[in-house]
Amino acid sequence: MSREHWDREAATFDDEADHGLADPAVRAAWRALLLGVLPPAPARVVDLGCGTGTLTRLLTDEGYVVDGLDLSPEMVRRARAKVPEARFTVGDAADPPLEPAAYDVVLGRHVLWALPDPAAAFAAWAGLLVPGGVAVLVEGRWATGAGLPAEAAAAIVRGAGREATVQPLPDPALWGRAITDERYLLLSRH
Ligand SMILES: C[S@@+](CC[C@H](N)C(=O)[O-])C[C@H]1O[C@@H](n2cnc3c(N)ncnc32)[C@H](O)[C@@H]1O
């Protein structure tokens, strides 16, 4: 999807419960999920396809040092306002213009599915990690028909020479409503 598409999405992006995390209960659910898989703070995190910076905000509040990257200048403008202390870059996550082997965590929520060549992109993401760094992907195959099934995401990660563990995310607390489609967190520790 194009930069223009995501620029248009930016103004209303946070309206979805899991995007804006405006509901404290939904935010608490994401906090618990992410802190349960991340190394302890402070650690360097790169939030790829960071959108309006909601997860960057959450993790910065927990003491992580987070860099965000997004293709959409409108998303990044909002992210900078939301997290003034983080560093954001406008750029393509398919080939991130970021320091290689520098991050303890690569985080991508709802981004890999949108890239034209997710396998090539994930291989580039893995190159951002320090030895022993972890990759955390949150993806889904949504009721709309869009998205990336867990099996496909796991195959991409394993194809890059890393292990993959998939945790289904059916808990309505994460989404602000009950869901019937496939949503998951993929954790790759090595
Ligand atoms: C569904 S949103 C998810 C935003 C954020 N990760 C979140 O979970 O709130 C997808 C994001 O990926 C960004 N994006 C799409 N294609 C991209 C690309 N090639 N490089 C970087 N960001 C991209 C979009 O601009 C948008 O902000």
* pLDDT tens per residue across span 64-104: 999 999 999 999 999 999 999 999 999 999 999 999 999 99
> From CA 14, how far away is CA 51, in angstroms rounded?
9
Which atom number of ligand 1 is nearest to the Cα of residue 3?
25
CA 110 to ligand 1 center in whole angstroms: 7
Q: Which of 74, 111, 122 to mutate to test the pocket of ligand 1 (most atoms within 8 A of CB)?
A: 111
Residue nearest atom 17 in ligand 1 by C-alpha distance? 71
At CB < 8 A and 24+ separation, what contacts does 83-87 make? Answer: 83/53, 83/56, 83/57, 85/60, 86/53, 86/56, 86/60
Structure token digits, residue 134: 């972890």
Which atom number of ligand 1 is nearest to the Cα of residue 54?
9
Write down the mean pLDDT value for the chain: 97
- Give mean pLDDT, residues 108-131: 97
Under 8 Å between Cβ of 113 and 147: yes
* pLDDT tens per residue across span 174-185: 999 999 999 999
* pLDDT tens per residue across span 136-171: 999 999 999 999 999 999 999 999 999 999 999 999
Q: Which of 70, 98, 117 to mutate to test the pocket of ligand 1 (most atoms within 8 A of CB)?
A: 70
Q: With bands split at pLDDT 50, 70 and 90, how would you rate the model's confidence at 1?
A: confident
